[in-house]
Amino acid sequence: MKRGFALLETIVVITFLSVSLLLLYGTFSNMISNSKRNLLYDDASNIYKVYYIKEYLGLDNFKVNGDIEEIDCDGLVSGCNKLLDSFEVENMYITYYDLKNYDSDLYSSSFNNYVDSLSNKGDYNYRLIVEFSDSSYASIGLVGGNYE
Amino acid sequence: MNKRGVTILELLISISLISVVILLLLKLIFSLDNINNSKEYASEDEIARTTIIKNIESDFLKLKLMGVRVKSLDKKVIITFNYLDRAKDLIIEEKSLSYDNQEYKLNSVNATYNLCPSFSYKELDKDYYLVNLNIEVLIDGKSNTKRDDIDLFYVDLISDNVSYPRDLECSK
């Protein structure tokens, strides 16, 4: 009868340990990539930029067609382009505050990820979402106004 | 075969395999420890940055910003925000910012504030102006991602009572 452990047993144990470590690494790298992605969302400076956009462009009274409407400077105040350039704005959207079912294929994956991360707590009807040139996003709720 | 225990070859191979695994694990643990320390500082700095931006922008809106004055000293810059009925100083030093009697230290080892902040004033249209004050965070003395900067904005109506510098001169 052979006593002690064989080379095969050592290899089995090492393989088991390696698989466990790989699984752990996979979980942690997922968590790290999620936290990196969240760094791009709702930065303090960007939230104030969105606030100034809303106030200056008078978006509380903007008439919205559909669940999501992408908006540009057409028909808005004359300094709109100057403001959006200064803030390095890429795209602006007004959406329902409690946005659940929309055609996500029409929008970029970064936009869809951001919408997924949003909380719907709050007494707002609509939401102004702004995408900046560094792919970061920020949004604020819109209250009042003449919505359609 | 009535072999007992392990042969010297098996023992050597086992020890070398286990040593390799332990070495890799130790390397991973040390790198995780380093990442954890730097992330802890980065997250403290991120909280401080968010608090500074929130406090100053709230004052801009509540107290109504009327003007900005900038004084550059040897190792600090004093930015005075003139509000409707009072003034508050933002003091920038290499490793800290002070505003409203509160000091926010920069904990990340290689990070410092740029003692030459950038300031711009522009008229959006005939009625409104936009001002922007940007305090850059440097890593090893070099410009890094804009995401760590203290970036402050203010939009208001143009009036004769407001006073902003057109550009900043600072001693580097």
Q: Domain boundaries in chain A? A: 1-40, 42-142
Which portions of chain B are predicted below pLDDT 50? 171-172
Predicted confidence (pLDDT) at residue A10 exceeds the cutoff of 90? no
Q: How much is the ipTM here?
A: 0.78
C-alpha to C-alpha distance for A51 and A44, rounded to whole angstroms: 11
CB contact under 8 A, B10 and A7: yes
What's residue B24's pLDDT? 87
Please, are residues A129 and A93 in contact by the beta-carbon 8 Å criterion?
yes
What token pair was written down for B47? 């909280």
Q: Which residue has the higher pLDDT, A20 or B154?
A: B154
What's residue A147's pLDDT? 43
CB contact under 8 A, B125 and A10: no
For A51-95, write each residue's pLDDT tens digit. 999 999 988 877 777 789 899 888 888 889 999 999 999 999 999
Q: How far is CA A48 from the centre of its chain?
A: 17
Which helix (H) or strand (E) segment holds residue B98: the answer is strand B96-99
pTM, full prediction: 0.79
Sign of CA dihedral A68, A73, A79, A85: positive
What's residue B4's pLDDT? 62
Nearest CB partner across the interface for B21, out of A7, A17, A45:
A17
For B68-110, write each residue's pLDDT tens digit. 998 888 889 999 999 999 999 999 999 999 999 899 998 888 8
What's residue B140's pLDDT? 87
Predicted confidence (pLDDT) at residue A144 exceeds the cutoff of 80? no
Nearest 10 degrees: Cα torsion B63, B162, B54, A58:
90
C-alpha to C-alpha distance for A72 and A81, rounded to whole angstroms: 9
- The residue in chain A having the minimum alpha-carbon distance to the alpha carbon of residue B13 is A7
C-alpha to C-alpha distance for B82 and B161, rounded to whole angstroms: 11
Instruction: Provide mean pLDDT across the span A4-27.
Output: 81
C-alpha to C-alpha distance for B71 and B51, rounded to whole angstroms: 23
Name the residue with tokens 């070398």.
Answer: B16
